[in-house]
Amino acid sequence: STPTTTASPKPTPVRSESTTSNSSASTRAGTDGRAYTDAQVKLVQQILKAKEGGRGAHYRVLGVEQNANENDLKKAYRKLALKLHP
């Protein structure tokens, strides 16, 4: 019989949001440990602010008029998704 060892789970470190300097751009480490550029953080803050106010928020988030056609909505969504994709 082979002795078995049980590995105790390692505690997950709590990461605070900190700013670090990079040669090309400043980045921030989020609570999940991923690095985000200042531009990404600013864009997310703008999106969250645009969501306030209820009705029509999705148009404000995408930056299109409420009478935008389906192609314009898809184009705006793809453009925004590319900016925020990891």
Q: Determine the average pLDDT of the residues in 18-36.
A: 60
- Predicted confidence at residue 77, as pLDDT, reads 92
**pLDDT per residue as tens digits for the range 38-82:** 888 888 888 888 888 778 888 888 889 999 999 999 999 999 898
- Predicted confidence at residue 5, as pLDDT, reads 53
Residues 6 or more apart whose Cβ sits within 8 Å of residue 55: none
Asked if 39 contacts 28 with a C-beta cutoff of 8 angstroms, the reply is no
- Predicted confidence at residue 11, as pLDDT, reads 46
- Predicted confidence at residue 13, as pLDDT, reads 44
pTM of the model: 0.54
- Encoded tokens for 69: 């056609």
